[in-house]
A and B are shown apart, each in its own frame.
Chain A
């Protein structure tokens, strides 16, 4: 399993390259992961999605699918893909410090 280095700290990653320990996560780290994912700036709309994902994970133990994000977060699919190019559920969960959604099996 891999690791990532940020400001002198080495953090463990899972097999999918997401943070292995959720306790490692904070908002600065989110910005760092986002930058590595090619998203240089997290806007309030990004944060709305990230926070929504964290809330659902907290409650249900799994991050929501794109379909559910569209249905419940108030951000439509097209915009989700603009905010988190290539795979909104995967990308947003990675930035949110959560494992890859299990719906992707």
Chain B
């Protein structure tokens, strides 16, 4: 009996279990998946909760319902991994042995990493929308807010879904407009990046959007501390930005179990081969999704493309054959731009987001780097796609390798 252990039953862990269960012989393989909670959240939905488009209930489903029969589900915290002994130690100090390990423990926010961010004002004048509790509290607060200066602050890169802070601002613009109070709200983005996004062309397009929607950007802002009393952000070079309402995207880090295992980098992300997805220097250990240190975006779509590569490589690896699938960094993200419209970007390690049509040249139906209603429906459809196709490991009509078809350089 060979044992495959999957750590984390979120987007990546669930997808891998569903892809591998039908092809690994039950007589020969035992598959176990560990997660700390019975609830599986559709995290992209968190963006819509503060504006009342979704309630928190719309974003959550029972985790087990999406896992295949035959896989053993262990609901427990993971304490640490002992790669030398091919063992994982759980919170109650019991151990699980493995022959093959897939690390899919994701990333989470860490407001405590920034001086003055996590204090008695957290949840009162300072919020996040990256956690179930955070996004729900922000929604409740917004309902009664009378206006003022709303600052979205990105502490440090990388973050999950690097376009989410921009989408939040676009949706806030539409939300306050609909409530007839846009003139009472000053929208502001404070970012450590030099512009709106990480890649030059998209940064320019999205920067123009921000300007048109009268959203002010303070770039190159290295957040040193938050002063809750004076309600201001203070940078390392002592420049300051004041706020009435702070919507923070705190430092994102890999799980503490990675640190306890001595496996992570300075942000607890696991050093991973960017093409094969094998963990650097470890035997029979793969890493997928937000838990990796890969220079690709931390997004569900990226995780999906990685899952196809990992699936092929895993099957070759267990048969002792050389791994032939190569991840190219492919990402495909819908960006909500408000008022029922959206944009789409498609890129990889080497090619930045370019304008054009997707997936069919000249036809679309989606337009790249350009606003359209159909892109917005694409984003709303994503929730259905997530639960019904993506998690179940069903192939989407988009290949794992990025295509240049329809793109204009």
Binding site for B on A (CB under 8 A): 15-16, 62, 65-68, 71, 77-78, 80-82, 85-88, 90, 102-105
Which A residues lie within 8 Å of B193 (CB)? Answer: 104
How far apart are the CA atoms of A62 and B220 in the complex, in Å? 21
- Report which residue of A68, A80, A104 has the largest number of chain B beta carbons within 10 angstroms of its beta carbon: A104
How far apart are the CA atoms of A104 and B194 in the complex, in Å? 10
Instruction: Pick the contact of B295: A15, A16, A71, A105 (CB < 8 A).
Output: A105
Tell me if B156 is interfacial: C-beta within 8 Å of chain A.
yes
Q: A62-B295, A90-B194, A102-B295 are in contact. Are A81 and B222 (CB under 8 A)?
A: yes
Tell me if B248 is interfacial: C-beta within 8 Å of chain A.
no
Which B residues lie within 8 Å of A80 (CB)? Answer: 236
Tell me if B38 is interfacial: C-beta within 8 Å of chain A.
no
Instruction: Pick the contact of B265: A68, A78, A104 (CB < 8 A).
Output: A68
Which A residues lie within 8 Å of B237 (CB)? Answer: 81-82, 85-86
Inter-chain contact A103/B200, CB cutoff 8 Å? no
How far apart are the CA atoms of A78 and B235 in the complex, in Å? 9
Which B residues lie within 8 Å of A68 (CB)? Answer: 265-266
Instruction: Pick the contact of B236: A15, A77, A102 (CB < 8 A).
Output: A77
Which B residues lie within 8 Å of A85 (CB)? Answer: 237
Instruction: Pick the contact of B297: A65, A82, A86, A105 (CB < 8 A).
Output: A105
12 contacts between A and B (CB under 8 A): A15-B352, A16-B200, A65-B266, A65-B267, A66-B222, A81-B237, A86-B237, A103-B158, A104-B193, A104-B198, A105-B162, A105-B297
Which A residues lie within 8 Å of B162 (CB)? Answer: 105
What is the distance, in angstroms, from A45's C-beta to the closest C-beta of chain B?
16
What is the distance, in angstroms, from B309's C-beta to the closest C-beta of chain A?
18
Q: A77-B224, A82-B237 are in contact. Are A87 and B194 (CB under 8 A)?
A: yes
